[in-house]
A = this chain, B = another copy of it.
Amino acid sequence: MIDSNSILNHINEYIQRIEYHKYPSSLYEPIKYVLSLGGKRIRPQLMLMAYNLYRDDIDTIMPNACALEMFHNFTLLHDDLMDNADMRRGNPTVHVKWHQNAAILSGDTMLLLAYNMFIETLSRYEIQAFQRACNTFCEATLAVSEGQQYDIDFETRLDVTEDEYIEMIRLKTSVLLACALKIGAELASASVDDAQNLYDFGEKIGLAFQLQDDLLDVYGDPSVFGKKIGGDILCNKKTYMLINALQLASNTDKELLLHWINKKQFNPEDKIASVTTIYDTVGIRNLCKSKIEYYFEEAINSLSKVGVSEDKKLGLKEFAYKLLNREK
């Protein structure tokens, strides 16, 4: 068993050493920039940890793990362009630092490099194992696109249900975490059941993780959270919080909520304070917390079914625990 800190270092070293064609540098500079901004490297870590449940030679799957990280960073790059976001991880986004077309084309190139990195490992694995892992990878990339499309579609809707929202974040966030774990298991030639249980573990952790994000946006500690509190409220993002508040608030509070949603000009602090008060009244904080706990327990339940000794699972359990007790 390799500890999670040394896995993270390993990943960062691998990413730094990826060799790109030298030219055109205008294509590759934005890619290197995006990957140099860091991040938690959750997806490759999960893949390596799942693989490590069965095998020790984690260097073998390093390209597959980093392909997932490359893909994830591609989605951030294009999402930031679509959302017109200026900053990512405390630095200007690619379309701000370079140009919109650099964001499009370098992003496209990251997507295809992710696939290329993954495919190029074909000869490393037993062919059936590789084929399964490939299918899982293909499923993941498509799910993320679909999730992002739902997210866009929800912007102009006020009647998004909780179920629709959970399905959206499942596609946009959870499937990639779930697939990271499943691919790790598949490439290690683990049993189909183990691969599926690890998928389920990742899926539920992903849902809990995203709900945690919604919660922190309202109730996080501004000195730790890393972004400004209330961002979701200001742009009327259909989060778990807002969807449930629209559902559960008294008529008066619902009217006030709609008033803020439709208001074009306002003092940001006033809107955040007023909406948060409604959330407090409805008790959204605890509702969200118990949903997070529910998914966390489901996740641990799936992990318990994975057919390896309990001590081997400690790393994943601890990782999930840390992820959900984060403040940023």
Q: Find out whether the CB atom of A108 lies under 8 angstroms from the CB atom of B105.
A: no
Q: Find out whether the CB atom of B82 lies under 8 angstroms from the CB atom of A105.
A: yes
A126 vs chain B, min Cβ distance (A): 11
Stretch in A19-27, A54-62, A177-185, A320-328 touching the partner:
A19-27
Instruction: Give complex CA distance A149, B24 in Å.
Output: 7
Chain B: CB-nearest residue to A23 = B146
Instruction: Determine whether A269 belongs to the interface, using a CB cutoff of 8 Å to chain B.
Output: no
Q: Find out whether the CB atom of A27 lies under 8 angstroms from the CB atom of B149.
A: yes
Contacts of A23 in B (CB 8 A): 146
Q: Find out whether the CB atom of B145 lies under 8 angstroms from the CB atom of A109.
A: yes
- Of B24, B120, B131, the residue contacting A153 (CB under 8 A) is B24
Instruction: Give complex CA distance A148, B26 in Å.
Output: 11
6 A-B pairs closest in CB distance: A27-B149, A116-B138, A24-B149, A82-B101, A109-B145, A112-B141
Which residues of chain A (98-125) have a CB below 8 Å from chain B? Answer: 100-101, 104-105, 107-109, 111-113, 115-116, 119-120, 122-123
Instruction: Determine whether A301 belongs to the interface, using a CB cutoff of 8 Å to chain B.
Output: no
Instruction: Determine whether A135 belongs to the interface, using a CB cutoff of 8 Å to chain B.
Output: yes
Q: Find out whether the CB atom of B104 lies under 8 angstroms from the CB atom of A150.
A: no
Instruction: Determine whether A127 belongs to the interface, using a CB cutoff of 8 Å to chain B.
Output: yes
Binary flags per residue of A73-99, CB closer than 8 Å to B gives 1, else 0: 000001001100000000000000000
- Asked whether A119 and B138 contact (CB < 8 A) given A26-B153, A145-B112, A153-B26, the answer is yes
Q: Find out whether the CB atom of B78 lies under 8 angstroms from the CB atom of A148.
A: no
Instruction: Determine whether A134 belongs to the interface, using a CB cutoff of 8 Å to chain B.
Output: yes
Chain B: CB-nearest residue to A142 = B112
Q: Find out whether the CB atom of A109 lies under 8 angstroms from the CB atom of B152.
A: no
A274 vs chain B, min Cβ distance (A): 30
- Interchain residue pairs with CB less than 8 A apart (5): A21-B146, A107-B108, A108-B111, A119-B138, A122-B127
Instruction: Give complex CA distance A153, B82 in Å.
Output: 23
Contacts of A104 in B (CB 8 A): 78, 81-82, 104
- Asked whether A145 and B108 contact (CB < 8 A) given A138-B115, A153-B26, the answer is yes
Contacts of A135 in B (CB 8 A): 120
Q: Find out whether the CB atom of A26 lies under 8 angstroms from the CB atom of B141.
A: no
A129 vs chain B, min Cβ distance (A): 12
